[in-house]
Amino acid sequence: MTALSRSPSGLASHERTRPLSKGKVKPAKDLCSECGLCDSRWVAYVRHACPFLNQRFETMELETHGRIRNLDNEKELYFGVHNRMLTARLKKPIAGAQWTGIVSQLGIQALKTGLVDAVLCVQQGEQDRFTPVPILARTPEEVLAARVNKATLSPNLEALEQLSGSGIKKLLAIGVGCQVQALRAVQSTLPLDELYVLGMPCVDNVSRTGLQTFLESTSKSPNTVVHYEFMQDFYIHFHHSNGSKETISFFGLDTPKVKDIFAPSCLSCFDYVNAGADLVIGYMGAKFGYQWLTVRNTRGEKLLSLIESQLDILPVDSSGDRHSAVQQGIDAYNKALKLPIWIASLVAWWVKYIGPQGLEYSRFSIDSHFTRNALWLWRHHSEKAEQHIPAFAKKIVSRYRLPS
């Protein structure tokens, strides 16, 4: 990809607005995902690039992958344009990584092989590990310092401001769906020769305050949590600083307390699977202990080739039926129910062994979040719901009975 002299909005590079004071310009208002674009010189493009102001899934897929997803193909309907899927784990896991460290290892190899000059990733604050610090990593050590997810809104794209004069011409950007959508929209204006995008599936980020509410209402030791994840066994897995682990059933959440902590941007997002990335690495389509990899195009193949020989690989599989669990979840969320712990544990045990697995679990998670988000939009932003909900999400949501 060669940098172009003109932007999608028709502005030449010398006409770009210099970055304003951080946090001053938020055209998406309450729907802002804090992706960081507004805090860079690319703020002039936000009204075109921000996915919460301007949905452009089909344009993005066509420009990035050469075609749009086929809505009559169930896999593409749910998971977007892709060449192949697999599940994998590193044969030699990276110490301290959230899983086995596939994302970190790929970033390191991209630097070592010279595929890229830098990796846009997110380290953590010195005083608080959940405070995201986006950087352009130039060394393997800097990439390793970014391992482990940060479960808060992160201004990744503010790091683009560092490109000018850096000598970086080839970049690997790691990010979630809203960040990737905005990045793709301004890609042609970046001072780069090559851009590779490694995406992660993502839902339900929160502010730092919202995260604290979640931790305090869910974990027995909120101040020692190092990282956590909602896993495919229907439990939330908390890892603590002393090395201990804690699990809480999905169905045991204090729904009345946590129902409203999620960012409005996440409650209006339909890019769970990161449709604009070249390669996506998550966990929800894999069995426990493995990661789920979705290769979308030839750039994604090139990225995966850097570490494929280092992986223990299994094919994707799918079993169970998600539909009744999704419908029950819609009704429970709408009523903000909180189950007693013993019932929540029993439900989680039953679903773990009888419920959806593999790709069917992925569909369960997508259906659950798309129906919830569609309801939220219709209730809070009815004026934009019709335009904002993409065609693939409308087709999925139409399969369920939603409360009025």
Q: Count of CB atoms within 10 A of residue 159's CB?
A: 22
Indicate the helix (H) or strand (E) that contains 330.
Answer: helix 323-334
Given this model, what pLDDT does residue 4 score? 32
Q: For the chain, which residues make up each domain, given as ranges?
A: 13-202+272-316, 208-261+319-397
pTM (predicted TM-score): 0.90
Q: What is the CA radius of gyration of the chain?
A: 20
Task: Report which listed range, 143-152, 237-246, 270-279, is most confident.
Answer: 270-279
Burial 169-181 (b: 16+ CB within 10 A, else e): ebbbbbbbbbbbb
Identify the DSSP state of 257. H
Strands 357-358 vs 318-319: parallel, antiparallel or unpaired: antiparallel
- Considering only 23-27, 86-90, 371-375, which range has the smallest mean pLDDT? 23-27
Confidence of residue 339 (pLDDT cuts 50, 70, 90): low
Given this model, what pLDDT does residue 385 score? 95
What sign does the CA torsion over 55, 329, 207, 377 have? positive
Asked if 184 and 57 count as a contact pair (C-beta separation under 8 A), the reply is: no
Indicate the helix (H) or strand (E) that contains 373.
Answer: helix 359-380
Q: Does 392 score more than 70 pLDDT?
A: yes
Indicate the helix (H) or strand (E) that contains 349.
Answer: helix 341-354
Q: Count of CB atoms within 10 A of residue 138's CB?
A: 16
pLDDT in tens, 71-107: 999 999 999 999 999 999 999 999 988 889 999 999 9
Q: What is the DSSP string of 161-199?
A: GG-TTS---EEEEEE-HHHHHHHHHHGGGSS-SEEEEEE
Tokens of 129: 């590990």
Task: Report which listed range, 125-129, 212-216, 301-305, 327-331, is most confident.
Answer: 301-305
* Rounded average pLDDT over 255-268: 84
Per-residue HEC secondary structure of 201-228 comes to CCCCCECHHHHHHHHHHHCCCHHHEEEE
Taking phi over 0 as left and psi of -120 to 50 as alpha, with beta for the rest, 175 belongs to beta
**Terminal Cα distance for the chain, rounded:** 47
Residue length, the chain?
Answer: 404
pLDDT in tens, 266-278: 999 999 999 999 9
* Rounded average pLDDT over 278-305: 95
Give the ranges where 50-200 is alpha helix by DSSP (H): 57-65, 74-79, 102-112, 140-144, 177-186
Q: Count of CB atoms within 10 A of residue 31's CB?
A: 24
Asked if 89 and 100 count as a contact pair (C-beta separation under 8 A), the reply is: yes
Given this model, what pLDDT does residue 338 score? 66
- Considering only 76-85, 100-109, 124-133, 302-311, which range has the smallest mean pLDDT? 124-133
Amino acid letter for position 356: P
Beta bridge partners of 311: 90
Given this model, what pLDDT does residue 22 score? 54
